[in-house]
Amino acid sequence: MNMPLNTSANISDPIEQARYNMIEQQIRPWNVLDAGVLDLLADVHREDFVPAAHRNLAFMDLEVPLLGSNAEEAVRLGHSMLPPRVEARMLQDLKILPSDRVLEIGAGSGYMAALLARKAASVLSLEIVPALADLARTNLQRAGITNAQVRVADGAQDALPEGPFDVIVLSGSVAEVPKSLLPQLREGGRLGAIVGQEPVMRFTLVRRTGERFDTTQPWDTMAPRLVGFAEPSGFSF
């Protein structure tokens, strides 16, 4: 569905039209130009990972709540999906290879794990909230994704015997890059995280070369906190 800008989706199908608009009006203008990523966003149906009560929000440029009846509270607690443009830009910048073994922290709905799994060899997605882990597993199974595993775990503290990994993705924000995760990167591995404090956070990309970890911060965004990771002294969340 990666169509030129002067074409449109089948307007007789409102879901496909909404998907097309999401890609062309939100994602492509955010410098997501990788044809493979754009095609993937068309192929993996985001609406299938959204709770039925919020299905009308699936293609909107916002954080979609996943648990409970209070949408604002769900987003505040991080029980939500990141906006499509943020997920797409992260996926593009991490440059996932077919041989990559990926660790995701913050499974949420399972949508990001599904995108990663379509590009990588395998995905291990950790989720600290059992209800979200169940949701992610159900959605991935329904989507026919067989190379992604969801585990209830604390990504900030629990042991990771499957490591090291080629790619580590934090699907939420942290105050700083977790140093405990850096040894879990293989040589040449990449870690992507949204780092900082409100009102300024930046997507941070760490690449491992030997014992050196090179960091770039190519773009700004905002995201709810991942649970369990350290905050600066005197700051509570």
Query: In the chain, where are the structural domains located?
Result: 14-221
pLDDT at 236: 47
pLDDT at 85 over 90: yes
List, in sequence order, every beta strand (DSSP E) within 113-198.
122-127, 148-152, 165-174, 185-197
Average pLDDT in the chain: 93
Helix and strand element counts for the chain (H, E): 6, 9
Q: Is the peptide bond before 164 cis (omega within 30 degrees of 0)?
A: yes
Q: Is the peptide bond before 98 cis (omega within 30 degrees of 0)?
A: no
pLDDT at 11: 64
To the nearest whole percent, how much of the chain has pLDDT over 70? 93
pTM of the model: 0.92
The pair phi, psi for residue 94, each rounded to 5°, is -80, -15
Cα 54 from Cα 57, distance rounded (Å): 5
- Confidence label for 23 from pLDDT (cuts 50, 70 and 90): very high
CATH of 14-221, one of 3.30.70.330, 3.40.50.720, 1.10.240.10, 3.40.50.150: 3.40.50.150
Q: How confident is the model over 218-229, as a mean pLDDT?
A: 94
